[in-house]
A = this chain, B = another copy of it.
Amino acid sequence: MKKYGFGVDIGGTTCKIGLFETTGKLLEKWEIPTDTQEEGKNILPDVAASLSQKMKEKGIPQGEVEGIGIGIPGPVEANGVVPVCVNLGWKDMDVPKEMQSLMEGLPVKAGNDANVAALGEMWQGGGKGCKSLVMVTLGTGVGGGIIVHGQIVAGANGAGGEIGHITVNPHESIPCNCGRKGCLEQYASATGITRLAKEWLAQGQGESLLDQAGEVSAKSVFDAYKQQDKAAQEIVGKFARILGNALSNIACVTDPEVFVIGGGVSKAGAPLLEAVEVAYQEAAFSSCAGAKFALASLGNDAGIYGGVKMVLE
């Protein structure tokens, strides 16, 4: 094992880059803008220039770098090829091949950003010490990443871990962004929780702190929940039941050691985690009921941690 590795998390506006020791220690992190002009043809050269510059600055020779692992905001095939990435303008981009030719042959791997973040949380975050994990990212949507035998489950079509699109309510009338109806994402994302709250409040079932909070949001719901607000308890209860049921079904597939909950909504912290864990335990198949629950702990750095971990295997 060489001494250093790079993790890169390419987003639609910035690329996050981390220089790591292969022990897992993050030495330095920085960002560069993502240039999506001209079908994103400058993105990888820009990243490569930034990595080379850093190696020069730190006096790190090529021979001391284990490799470069890159997270991409879209589906990535198991070999690192990106068929289409709308956010970056890419089509049929062979990320390992392109990047390797820019970096004098250093080993390069690429994966979907949600899956890579899951690997990061397994390595140095909320799932540390585990080899099988389900990462649940509660943000504007619901993302996920599945780890089995310590490795990312990319899936045959790059759709491994697309748990936000598990159908949880076949009777839903409003469509999800994916065009189908009743996806987990419609209830368990920040947007989904806000919607559950508005529906509850519209029923006028009594006073609530949420009536005075101005614009209702996932954050205001969890703030009121922490103050034992009755309406917030009902709303969080419904959210937790839907998510807990979905996770209990996932457990019947890969039976993970731990569920790691991340994303903006997870900033609600321990009370959210506890509500979801209790709902999970009520719904779970008995063998799986003891799965651990943990909050993601790497925040926005999960992608660079997971990136470098990809090239350490």
Residues of A whose CB lies within 8 Å of any CB of B are 75, 132, 146, 148-149, 151, 153-167, 170, 178-180, 245, 248-257, 283, 285-288, 290-291
| Alpha-carbon distance between A148 and B254 when the two chains are bound, in angstroms | 10
30 A-B pairs in the complex with CB atoms less than 8 angstroms apart: A75-B287, A148-B153, A153-B253, A153-B254, A155-B255, A155-B288, A156-B288, A156-B291, A157-B288, A158-B287, A159-B255, A159-B285, A159-B288, A161-B253, A162-B252, A162-B288, A163-B253, A165-B252, A165-B285, A166-B249, A166-B252, A167-B245, A167-B249, A178-B285, A178-B286, A179-B286, A180-B285, A250-B253, A253-B254, A254-B254
Residue of B nearest to A165 (CB): B285
Within the complex, which residue of B170, B248, B253, B286 is in contact with A253, where a contact is CB–CB below 8 Å?
B253
Known: A149-B149, A286-B178. A160 touches B249 (CB 8 A): no
| Alpha-carbon distance between A257 and B157 when the two chains are bound, in angstroms | 8
Within the complex, which residue of B153, B159, B170 is in contact with A287, where a contact is CB–CB below 8 Å?
B159
Docked-complex contact A257 and B156, CB < 8 angstroms? yes
| Alpha-carbon distance between A252 and B245 when the two chains are bound, in angstroms | 15
| Alpha-carbon distance between A50 and B71 when the two chains are bound, in angstroms | 52
Within the complex, which residue of B132, B146, B157, B179 is in contact with A155, where a contact is CB–CB below 8 Å?
B132
| Alpha-carbon distance between A271 and B154 when the two chains are bound, in angstroms | 31
Docked-complex contact A255 and B162, CB < 8 angstroms? yes
| Alpha-carbon distance between A295 and B231 when the two chains are bound, in angstroms | 50
Q: Return A146 CB to nearest CB of chain B, in Å.
A: 6
Q: Return A49 CB to nearest CB of chain B, in Å.
A: 33
Within the complex, which residue of B151, B163, B256, B290 is in contact with A252, where a contact is CB–CB below 8 Å?
B163
| Alpha-carbon distance between A236 and B166 when the two chains are bound, in angstroms | 23
Q: With contacts A166-B249, A178-B286 known, what are 4 further pairs, Cβ within 8 A?
A: A157-B255, A157-B290, A159-B255, A162-B287
| Alpha-carbon distance between A163 and B249 when the two chains are bound, in angstroms | 8
Q: Return A231 CB to nearest CB of chain B, in Å.
A: 23
Q: Return A82 CB to nearest CB of chain B, in Å.
A: 13
| Alpha-carbon distance between A148 and B250 when the two chains are bound, in angstroms | 15
Docked-complex contact A248 and B167, CB < 8 angstroms? yes
User: Inside 8 A of A153's CB, which chain B residues have their CB?
Assistant: 148-149, 253-255
Q: Return A161 CB to nearest CB of chain B, in Å.
A: 7
| Alpha-carbon distance between A149 and B160 when the two chains are bound, in angstroms | 12
User: Inside 8 A of A165's CB, which chain B residues have their CB?
Assistant: 252, 285
Q: Return A175 CB to nearest CB of chain B, in Å.
A: 13
| Alpha-carbon distance between A283 and B256 when the two chains are bound, in angstroms | 25
Q: Return A240 CB to nearest CB of chain B, in Å.
A: 14
User: Inside 8 A of A146's CB, which chain B residues have their CB?
Assistant: 253-254
